[in-house]
Chain A
């Protein structure tokens, strides 16, 4: 009899370079809890595993496997993929869930290719039927909904950040054990330096996975005037995004770009300021629950999908909106 539940789901925890459990792990463990018993794999530098394991238990990990290795901060992806292989071998899970992030995708890709497991990417939901675990996807920028699964074996599923609302309850007495990992000996790229992004002073949420997003487009007119987007975002507690036009015009860095070739977001609220709503932009945000748009051009395509659209000047409407929100706060 295995120490792991029949319906175990291995979750690869994402750890920040400074050794903390990534904030979006509550959603990933929440997703796992919808289809089975989460067994969370924590891969950290030596000495950091215990704290991360406890943080994982706080967001619903009943079972935590800790793999500590000095190589996680010096070698790219291979240490995580090797740990995933060891965890899957030990646990024999029904599915493996990984965040659809840059690091998560690479580890999942290597593991799936190595073990010839089915890989289902960018899931916005998970479910279970008699045959096993299923992943649902939103395809072509939300135009189609597709369900996928593995022909056999445990599927490896990367889960879109911000797409899962389920949360698992905290586990008071988690089972934490260390995991022995046999190195695959695969060559890996070396990490020569790491510059961790400092949290902005405003504690503004990250764009990926944010519950609310305020985005600005070329209608803002300049880098200085883009400040208006930041102001509204801070009043709403929202992340800041931008259209490609605003990025190309140099108002904000490329990491702000929402759309086909940037970040895909599915927030509760998406506010588009001075964004016309080209199809590429809509592809990255039209699965938002509520969309509000302000644009001077009454024919802007963004209005076709906005729940509340205002034809007007962002520089008069937004300050009034900010004042109204502040007065009711």
Chain B
């Protein structure tokens, strides 16, 4: 079985994250770059299946600037067999539609039985790429899974929906996305880190994938304005003198939110 895991380099949420106020594009230099945790969990789903099923080929795939190679190599150190990295200057500021087109083209080119992604990245938080990619690949999507069962010819799991919990399943090929209820990822050990350097790492461009960033048939989402929200200022802070509960009640009533 060939499993493609979508991973993403994101700014570390433990620090300040910045957007360029001129372009609206993430300022990658402003914060430390890390592999998104939900992508690591997705990889763990694939690797635990591969542990039990030795004929499994686990490929990590990402679309990002060339500079994020060091981050993606971490996924190889954790145990993925190879990496496909879509690198193209014209992808800077790519919207969701173009991102999905590029990923779907690369997945289709690589061939796959199962695609595993995180349900939502910590930076864009869009949560739509897995279903968009599934639509373009013309395969089923099973998103927001809190548990996953992979069989040789099918995949299933429990999907946490809005007001309900669904049990869903599909024959392969399919695209799934997982939530952070899935187990933490394994750590890359020293042996893995050394091995990662020798694993196949392919960089491909949009031209090689046959994807056009400015396609007259595809509408794109564009940013027309970006501004920094005024920082939220702290208000009153009191130390409880035995009447703080009363004081909060007064505050809530005065602000008509009691």
C-alpha gap A179/B97 in the complex (Å): 27
**A311-B237, A325-B258 as given contacts; A106 in contact with B24, CB under 8 Å:** no
Cβ distance A86 to chain B, nearest Cβ, rounded Å? 16
Cβ 8 A contact of B220, one of A113, A118, A197: A118
Residue of chain B at shortest CB distance from A137: B223
Partner of B123, one of A140, A142, A197, A320: A140
Residues of B within 8 Å of A122, CB to CB, are 125-126
In the complex, A260 has a CB within 8 A of chain B: yes
Query: Do B227 and A317 touch (CB < 8 A)?
Result: no
Cα separation A323 to B97 with both chains bound (whole Å): 53
- The CA-CA distance from A261 to B133 in the complex, in Å, is 22
Smallest CB gap from B180: residue in A: A261
CA distance A292 to B247 in the complex (A): 11
| Cβ proximity bits B37-74 to A, threshold 8 Å, 1 near / 0 not | 11000000000000000000000000000000000000
Residues 68-95 of A contacting B (Cβ, < 8 Å): 76-78, 81
The answer, yes or no, to whether A274 is at the interface (CB within 8 Å) is no
Shortest C-beta distance, A114 to chain B (Å), equals: 5
A-side contacts of B167, CB under 8 Å: 191-194
Does B131 interact with chain A (Cβ within 8 Å)?
A: yes
Contact of B95 among A119, A212, A292 (CB under 8 A): A119
- A163 to chain B minimum Cβ distance, whole angstroms, is 14
Query: Are A303 and B237 neighbours in the complex by a CB distance under 8 Å?
Result: yes
B152 at the interface (CB under 8 A from A): no
- Contact call B160/A255, Cβ cutoff below 8 A: yes
When the two chains form the complex, which single residue of B16, B229, B235, B245 contacts A145, counting CB atoms closer than 8 Å?
A: B229
Q: Does A110 contact B (CB under 8 A)?
A: yes
Q: Of residues 104 to 162 in A, which have CB atoms within 8 Å of B's CB atoms?
A: 104-106, 108-110, 112-114, 116-122, 134, 138-140, 142-153, 155, 158
Q: Could you mark each residue 152-196 of chain B with 1 if its beta carbon is under 8 Å from any beta carbon of chain A, else 0?
A: 000010011111111111100010000111000000000000000
Known: A106-B143, A116-B218. A307 touches B257 (CB 8 A): no
Q: How near does chain A come to B28, taking the closest CB pair, in angstroms?
A: 13
Q: Which A residues from 153 to 186 make CB contacts under 8 A with B?
A: 153, 155, 158, 186
| A189 adjacent to B248 (CB under 8 Å) | no
- Chain B residues lying within 8 Å of A1, measured Cβ to Cβ, are none
Decide if A113 touches B135 in the complex (CB within 8 Å). yes
Q: Are A148 and B223 in contact (CB under 8 A)?
A: yes
Q: Which residues of A contact B246 (CB under 8 A)?
A: 320-321, 324
Asked if A312 and B236 sit within 8 Å, CB to CB, the answer is no
Contacts of B217 in A (CB 8 A): 116
In-complex Cβ contact of B225 among A147, A196, A322 (8 A): A147
The reply to whether B229 and A151 form a contact with Cβ atoms under 8 Å apart is: no
B235 close to A269 (CB less than 8 A): no
- Which chain B residues border A150 with CB–CB below 8 Å? 219-222
Q: Is A309 at the interface (CB under 8 A from chain B)? A: yes
Annotate B129-149 by CB proximity to A: 1 below 8 A, 0 otherwise: 111111110111111101000
Query: Can you list 9 pairs linking A and B with CB atoms under 8 Å apart?
Result: A105-B126, A106-B141, A118-B219, A118-B220, A189-B141, A191-B168, A279-B13, A324-B246, A324-B248
Interface residues of B (CB under 8 A from A): 13-17, 19, 24, 37-38, 95-97, 100, 120, 122-123, 125-136, 138-144, 146, 156, 159-170, 174, 179-181, 215, 217-229, 232-240, 243-253, 255, 257-258
A-B interface, 3 closest residue pairs, ranked by CB to CB distance from nearest: A320-B245, A312-B240, A324-B249
New contact pairs (12) apart from A146-B24, A148-B222, A310-B248, CB-CB < 8 Å: A76-B159, A78-B140, A116-B215, A118-B219, A121-B126, A146-B225, A150-B220, A196-B163, A292-B251, A316-B245, A317-B245, A320-B243
